[in-house]
Amino acid sequence: MRTHKLEQSGNWWERLLPSGQGDRAQERGIFGFTTFLLSETMVFASFFVAYLYLRHQTTNWLPPGVPRMELTRPAINTAVLLGSSFVIYFAEHALKHHQIRKFRWLWLTTSVMGTFFLVGQMQEWKGLSFGLNTGLFGATFYLLTGFHGLHVFTGICLQFIMFIRSFIPGNYRIGHFGVTVTALFWHFVDIIWIILFSLLYLWQA
């Protein structure tokens, strides 16, 4: 009755799970993680508001020499990223039905798609004629895509950790909290991208 640790055996990765009053620990953890995601959303919301505010009061928004933003490559990247959300959903589904190998393949595919997106972003950045200091557009563009990219990178790292953990025998004995929150994080990253893409690329007027 006296211990702080979980009633189950104390492997270090199991101890990484949220503790507290015994049962319903997973649900509590997911609630906590969701509040974290809501908070992160507010950070991006503040960037979006800054973008809208600055854009609203600037007459020549795009940097000189850039008539419009090229859409093809970003559109492909978007499709890949959004697709990966579906893939991760199916991966979770497979895990719930104890199909570990299928889970691992789908999970890996998600990471590959995420990496494709990041590489695509970096290539786009390299190909752009303007920089961070080229006026307001440059600054907001790199800030928004940069922070989003950082989150994509974090998501891929989390996926990697979960992937490795899937090889540990008995890892899912008490549930799959890590997989669930990593997937939640990935969906969050996608939703932010949809808004970002619309604001930066689609809204060209």
Partner 1 sequence: MRNFFQNLLLGASVAMLIIASYWLGQQAYSWMPIQATAEAKQVDHLFSFLVTVGAFIFFGVVSIILYSLIFHRAARDDYSEGHPARGNWQIEALWIVIPTLLVLWIAFQSYQIYQQLNFQGLNLPILVDVPLEDTAKSKETKPLAEEIAVVVKQWAWSFHYPNNIVSDTLHLPVNRTIRLVFYSEDVLHGFYVPEFRIKQDIIPNRRIIFTFTPLRVGKYRLRDSQFSGKNFALMEADVYVEPSTAYSQWLAHNNSQFHDYDKLQSTKLAAIFHH
Partner 2 sequence: MLIRAELVTPELNLVNRSFYNSLFTMHGTIMIFLWIIPSLSGLANYLVPLMIGARDMAFPRLNAMAFWIVPPAGLLLLSSFFLPGGSAQSGWWSYPPLSIQNPSGNILNGQLFWILAIILLGISSIMTAINFVTTIVWMRAPGMTFFRMPIFVWTVLSAQILQLFFLPSLTGGLILLLFDLCFGTPFFRPSKGGDPILYQHMFWFYSHPTVYVWALPAFGIFSEIIPAFSRNPLFGYRSVAVASLGIALFSALVWVHHMFTSGTPNWMRMLFMLTTMLVAVPTGVKVLAWTATLWRSKLHLETPMLFALAGVVMFLFAGITGVMLGAVPFDLHVNNTHFIVGHFHYIVYNTITVAIFGAIYFWFPKITGRMYAEGWGKIHFWLTLIAANLTFFPLFPLGLQGMVRRISSYNPEYAKWNFIASLGGFLLGISILPFIANIVSSWLRGIPATNNPWRATGLEWITTSPPPRENFAEIPAVNFPPYSYGQPQAWAGENSPQE
Which residues form the interface with partner 2 (CB under 8 A)?
2, 4, 16, 18-21, 24, 27-29, 31-32, 35-36, 38-40, 42-43, 45-47, 49-50, 53-54, 57-58, 132-133, 135-136, 139-140, 143
Q: How far is the CB of 5 from partner 1 (least distance, A)?
A: 42
- Picked from partner 2, partner 1, none, the partner binding residue 157 (CB below 5 to 8 A depending on kind) is none
Nearer to partner 1, 53 or 86 (CB): 53
Do residues 161 and 52 touch, judged by C-beta distance below 8 A?
no
Q: How far is the CB of 186 from partner 2 (least distance, A)?
A: 19
- Picked from partner 2, partner 1, none, the partner binding residue 161 (CB below 5 to 8 A depending on kind) is none
Q: And the tokens for 41?
A: 């959303």
- Picked from partner 1, partner 2, none, the partner binding residue 139 (CB below 5 to 8 A depending on kind) is partner 2
User: Under the criterion CB under 8 A, does residue 133 sit at the interface with partner 1?
Assistant: no
Exactly one of 57, 68, 133, 167 binds partner 1 (CB under 8 A); which one? Answer: 57
Nearer to partner 2, 6 or 100 (CB): 6
What backbone torsions phi and psi does residue 155 show, to the nearest 5 degrees?
-60, -40
Alpha carbons within 13 angstroms on the beta-carbon side of residue 193 total 28
Residue closest to 172 by CA, chosen among 122, 116, 109, 99: 99
Q: How far is the CB of 57 from partner 1 (least distance, A)?
A: 6
Nearer to partner 1, 21 or 59 (CB): 59
Q: How far is the CB of 85 from partner 2 (least distance, A)?
A: 23
User: Under the criterion CB under 8 A, does residue 64 sit at the interface with partner 1?
Assistant: no
Contacts of 157 (CB under 8 A, 6+ apart): none
Residues 178 and 33: their CA atoms lie apart, in Å, by 11
CA angle, corner 39, sides to 37 and 40, nearest 5?
Answer: 65
Contacts of 163 (CB under 8 A, 6+ apart): 104, 107, 108, 111
Q: And the tokens for 61?
A: 């928004």
CB atoms within 10 A of CB 199: 16
* Residues engaged in binding partner 1 (CB under 8 A): 57-59
